Amino acid sequence: MSKPVETVAVPVAPITLDDIRHKALHIRDEVVEEAREQVSERRGQIIIIGVVAVVAALSLVYYVGTRAGRAACEPPTR
């Protein structure tokens, strides 16, 4: 048989308002930083999408312009 083991309760320091305030401020700082990173990433995505849209529009305008210019230079066929 085993011997009975005596357990001793370890005193725990009570949680103070300062502890809670410190933890809340830490969490707030982390959330603010994460929000800034998300906004920065989103801003980059919007800029890239805008650049791609402008390049696509310019390409289409160039293509249509060259076809119209070529058609204007050719003699009419009968």
pLDDT in tens, 5-60: 788 878 888 889 999 999 999 999 999 999 999 998 999 899 999 999 999 999 99
Tally of domains within the chain: 1
The pTM is what?
0.51
Chain centroid, CA 47 distance in Å:
13
Q: Residue 45: CA atoms inside 13 Å, Cβ hemisphere, count?
A: 6
Q: What is the largest CA-CA distance in the chain?
A: 115
Per-residue CA distances from 65 to 42, 53, 59, 71 (Å): 34, 18, 10, 10
Structural domain that includes position 71: 20-78
Q: Is the pLDDT higher at 47 or at 69?
A: 47
User: What single letter denotes the amino acid at residue 56?
Assistant: A
Residue 2 lies in a domain: no
Question: Is position 36 within any domain?
Answer: yes
CB atoms within 10 A of CB 28: 10
Q: Has residue 65 been placed in a domain?
A: yes
